[in-house]
């Protein structure tokens, strides 16, 4: 996800993970950053300007899609792909002589 802000001065963006560990994720004069790859859980984002000015913290909840749905769809995809490969390879060997 994209996190954006407006500021006239350099800023530091910190991320607090569900275990309470705080780490900086951005430091500079830009106006946004792309965050990805976070595990499930509630996170807090804090933005601090060089002068010490602070923006209101933002809470971020991460909840990935259902793993069972993903595996079910992957299974269906594997079946469709496998059958497609079989038709091509058998057809190549037999050169379309069915029926």
Partner 1 sequence: MAEDKVFLDPTVGWILLALFSALWIGLGVYWGRRNKSFEDHALAGRNVGLALGTATAAATWITSNTTMLAPQFALQLGIWGMLAYSTAAFGLILFAPMAKRIRHLMPHGYTSGDFFRLRYGRVAWAIFLVFTLFYSLTWLVSMAMAGGILLEALAGIDYVWGMSVILAVCVIYTMRGGLAAVIGTDFIQSLIIIVGICVTGFAVLQNVSVSEIHANLTATKPALLDVLFPAAIMAIFNNLLFGLGEVFHNNVWWSRAFAFRDGVASKAFLMGGLVWLPIPVAAGFIALASGALGVAVPSADMVGPLVIAEVLGGVGAVAIFIVVFCSLASSIDSLLAATSDLITEDIWRRLLHPKTSVEGLKRAAQWVTLALGVLTWLVCLPRIGTLATVLFFAGPLVGSMIWPIVTGLYWRSANTVGAVGAMVLGAGIGLYCYFAIGWYVATLIATAVSMVWTLGACAFAKGRFDWTRLKEAA
Binding residues (CB under 8 A) for partner 1: these are 2, 23, 25-28, 30-34, 36-39, 64-67, 69-71, 73-74, 76-78, 80-81, 83-85, 87-92, 94-99
CB of 52 to partner 1, least distance (A): 21
Residue nearer to partner 1 on the CB measure, 30 or 57 = 30
Contact 74, 32 (CB under 8 A): no
How far is Cα 87 from Cα 83, in angstroms, rounded to an integer? 6
We find the least distance from the C-beta atom of residue 26 to partner 1, in angstroms, to be 5
Please provide the DSSP assignment of 26-46 as one string: EEES-SEEE---PPSEEEEEE
């Amino acid at each position: 996800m994209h996190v954006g802000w407006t500021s006239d001065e350099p800023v530091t963006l910190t991320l607090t993970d569900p275990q309470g560990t705080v780490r900086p994720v951005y430091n500079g004069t830009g106006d946004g950053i792309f965050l990805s790859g976070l595990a499930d859980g509630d996170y807090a984002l804090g933005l601090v300007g060089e002068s010490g000015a602070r923006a209101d913290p933002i809470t971020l909840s991460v909840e990935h899609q259902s793993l069972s749905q993903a595996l079910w769809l992957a299974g269906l995809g594997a079946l469709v792909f496998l059958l497609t490969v079989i038709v091509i390879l058998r057809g190549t060997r037999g050169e379309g002589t069915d029926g």
